[in-house]
Every structure is written in structure tokens, then in C-alpha cells.
Chains A and B, each alone.
Chain A
Amino acid sequence: MLAKRIIPCLDIDRGRVVKGVKFEEVRDAGDPVEVARRYDQQGADELVFLDITASSEDRPTLFATVEAVAREIYIPLTVGGGVRTCADVRALLSRGADKVSINTAAVDNPDFVTEAADRYGVQCIVVAIDAKRVNKKKEAPRWEVFTHGGRKATGIDAVEWAAKMVEKGAGELLLTSMDRDGTKAGYDVEFLRAVSDAVPVPIVASGGVGSLEHLYEGLDQGGADAVLAASIFHQGTYTVGQAKQFLAGHGVRVRL
């Protein structure tokens, strides 16, 4: 049976791995190739790179990073950040990315997802959704899609958006809770569960991991197919191997 995936996330800024809190306060966390190699050796199931600068003049730096990492590791690599056109998708795939993650461009033009999926296959099109809880107290939970690295509200309901993105051709969804990102307070498992129940494709949980229990909650209560984490791995709090041992001990099927 299929294993749940543990995915270290590398936020990349001008060729360096960085980590911010709630999309701000960026700190340096190392060289991408070294960090990627370390996670590969620890048994990471995939890696995700998010280019957080995402300015067009820095693209060659990102491409060089992707190429250097893809040469070193033999597990799937997803790259996102500033992916706006099929030419961007192609450029990343040709440099060794296995999947690309589309975020703001999908909101601007949902048909771009279809175009990219038709051309390169649904298996390599991930739609990233940054969501914030917007319901008032005592109201039913509701989440809204944000874009531009979390700065811009869209007014779009995140669960409906997730279903629409799958219709448009997303082969996987990367769900980030902006309320939780960098807080170490755990995933927003209600959000994960709401999307997981609404879509037929795999979902990746992101934003808020501070402990191994949080990974378990994302998979168990959240129903995620994969869990993404950054700071607990970057800061050396836990290795990927320790995370997998913990999950296996809780009855989760992982690749050991």
C-alpha cells in the first residue's frame, strides 16, 4: 500500500535556503544542494523548493539551483514560486524539476492550470493554495485564498477553489495555512480535512509544524497524503528519519 510522504520544504531566496515566520522575517538556513543532500540521505520522500523572491531577474539563479540539486538527488523535486507561463513550467522541468507548483498565476488565470496539465501531464502540476481562516467566532469554519506570498486577499473560498483547481487539471494540491505558517502551532487540520474530503487528488499539508505530533495530526485528522515541514528539519530539531520512526510507531505507513 501507498506510504504517506514526508517532504522537507526549502524556501529559496536568491540561491539560499531561508525560513520566514508567517511569510515574513526571513532567516538564512543554508546552501540548497547541501540541505537537499542531507534530506535525501535522511530518507525524505520528496523535496519541495519554493522560490520566495520570485522576481524575474532572479530566475537564472533559481534554474541553476534546481539543476545543481537535481544532479545530486534521486527523489522527486517540486519547484514553485513565480510560475506564470508554460514556458516557466517547461524551463523548470527541463532543469530537473519533476513537478511545478502554481499559485498566484492559477488565480489570475485558472485556464493556465489546464493548459500546463494538458501539455506536461497532470502528474507534474501542483496547485499551491495559501489560505487564511476568515470566519468569525461561532461561525462555521471558512477559509479564503490569498496570493502574492500571502499579501493579497482574493475573496475566493479555499475549499471551493481546491475543487475547481482539480477540475482544471491539478494533480496534487499543496495547502498552506497562513495562520499557522512558521508558528509551530501545528497544521490547520480542519482546513486539511475539508479539502481532503472535497477532492480526489493527493493533498500535501503545509504551514505550522513544530513537533512530530503535528505531522501525525496532519495525516490522521487532516487526511493529508503527505506532510511538508521546514523549520523542524532545518533547525535540526528532528531528522526526517526520526519523523518517520515516530509516525511508524503510530501506525502510519511510511517508507523506512
Chain B
Amino acid sequence: MSAIGVIDYGMGNLHSLGKSLERVAEGRRVEISYDPDKLLKCDHLVLPGVGGVRACMNELRRLELNELVMEVARKKPLLGICLGMQVMLEHSDENGGVAALGLFPGNVVRFPDPQPAEPSPAADGPSPAHHGDRLKVPHMGWNRVRQTRPHPVWQGVPDDSWFYFVHSYHALPQNPAHTLGTTDYIHPFASAIARDNIVAFQFHPEKSQGVGMTLLSNFVNWTP
């Protein structure tokens, strides 16, 4: 049975991601590893990520996993999550500016510093009249993802579903066709991107209850 590989570059807490993938894997093995040979044998690969982008890129290079990701990106279904999505862009402003993998043209930028809450769109219900409330950074908690185009990973996931986010930086993909979903926080940003055999989420499907499980299940069954 084919395996699902989780690329372990030593920074993230892969426990919850691993157990979520096991839950949707229907008996397939979940290989959490930093060994490129083992990972190359997997059919679906996940690039997770927490922490800072500089440390992430350094660890990927030190373990020669950046080459693995580039190779996988050419031929196998690859999923980036959170920082794992951000390193797929060309450059991140975090940690004073770091060159990333460049699988998607575009950059990663920080949310602007806290500012007064925006009025909510009428369709989304009234906004509480919190005087002086500010939108904080990090963007932490549950927010909606608007699906901007169809994709197999969205199957069974209602549009505008809630997902769990924790991040201070977000991707600015250069090619609008790469955006798969957007989320409103301070301003709308690309919270899901995809091209060819690659898909990436800024939010954490493994922390997003039922819809998150559906998304992961769709990914591990995806044959682009």
C-alpha cells in the first residue's frame, strides 16, 4: 500500500498532523521522516511548518530536503501547510528577508500592525460595536475560506467553511490563477493556493475539525 510522507525537518509539532493523516489514510502508512529516500517512496507528500522561515529554510537545506521538495513538486501530489505554504513562494519578508523555494511566483509579507476593526460585510451579520477593538497580529483563530475556483480538494467542503489559522505573515501569489481560496483579515489574502500537482493552505486542516479532515482526505486521494 502506498504511503503518505510527512517531511520532518525537525521544527514542527507533527503529532497532530500525523494522527489526522492516519485517520483519513484508510490503512495507508503515514511516514514521518527526514530521510529523502524514504520520502521519495511515498505517493503523497506533506510539507508542514511552524516557526520562522529562516530556520525552516536552513533546516531544509541542511537535511537536503529542499532538493527533495523540488523533485516531488515536479511529479507527485504535494501539500504545504502554514509555513510549509509560505516557503513555496519565492521570498519571505520574515526574519529580515529570506529566499524561499519559489514553487509559486510571489512573496510572503507581514500583516500590517494592529488597527481598528473594519465594519463587517452586511451579508455576514452585524458586527459587534467594540470601541477601540483592533485586529491583532498574529491572526489566530477560526476564519472563513472563500473558494475562488473549483479544485478536487474542495470536494465536500462547503464554501466559506471555517478553518483554524495561526500566522503573522501571508502569501501574495503573483499569478491570480494560483489562488484557490481567500480569507478576510485586515484585507483579503490568499489562504489556499494551487497549481498542477501542488496545493497549499495557510490554515491548519489538522486543527479544523470535520472540514479539515475532509480536506486532508481529499488530498491523500488526489490523483492530479
Contacts and interface: CB of A to CB of B under 8 A. Distances in A.
Given A74-B213, A225-B141, A253-B125, A120 B51 contact: yes
Interface of A: 1-5, 40, 45, 70-71, 74-76, 93-98, 118-124, 171-172, 196-197, 200-202, 219-220, 223, 225-226, 248, 250-253, 255
Given A76-B207, A200-B134, A251-B128, A45 B141 contact: yes
A75 B207 contact: yes
A123 B167 contact: yes
28 contacts: A1-B127, A1-B184, A2-B185, A3-B141, A4-B141, A5-B142, A70-B15, A74-B20, A74-B208, A74-B209, A74-B212, A76-B207, A96-B16, A96-B19, A122-B138, A123-B166, A124-B50, A171-B140, A201-B137, A201-B140, A202-B138, A220-B128, A220-B129, A223-B132, A251-B125, A251-B128, A253-B120, A255-B162
Contacts of B96: none
B126 A251 contact: yes
A151 B101 CA distance: 51
B133 interface: yes
B207 A121 contact: no
Contacts of B174: none
Contacts of B138: 122-123, 171-172, 201-202
A121 to B, nearest CB: 4
Interface in B75-129: 113-114, 118, 120, 124-129
A252 B185 CA distance: 16
Contact of A71 (B19, B164, B208, B209): B19
Interface string B11-49: 101011001100000000000000000000000000000
Contact residues of A: prevailing secondary structure: loop
Size bin of chain B's contact surface: 35 or more
A139 B224 CA distance: 67
A226 B128 contact: no
B130 A70 contact: no
Nearest to A44: B209
Contacts of B164: 75-76
Interface of B: 11, 13, 15-16, 19-20, 50-52, 113-114, 118, 120, 124-130, 132-144, 162, 164-168, 184-185, 206-210, 212-213
A219 B162 contact: no
A200 B136 contact: yes
A82 B206 CA distance: 27
A94 B13 CA distance: 6
A97 B72 CA distance: 30
Contact of B13 (A2, A93, A201): A93
Contacts of A252: 128
Nearest to A90: B13
Contacts of B51: 119-121
A40 B140 contact: no
Contacts of A98: 13, 16, 207
A45 to B, nearest CB: 6
B186 to A, nearest CB: 10
A70 B19 CA distance: 9
B117 to A, nearest CB: 8
Contact of A2 (B16, B20, B142, B207): B142
Question: Which 7 residue pairs of A and B lie closest in terms of their CB atoms, listed nearest first?
Answer: A121-B51, A123-B166, A251-B126, A93-B13, A255-B142, A255-B162, A3-B142
Most buried by B among A75, A76, A219, A248: A76
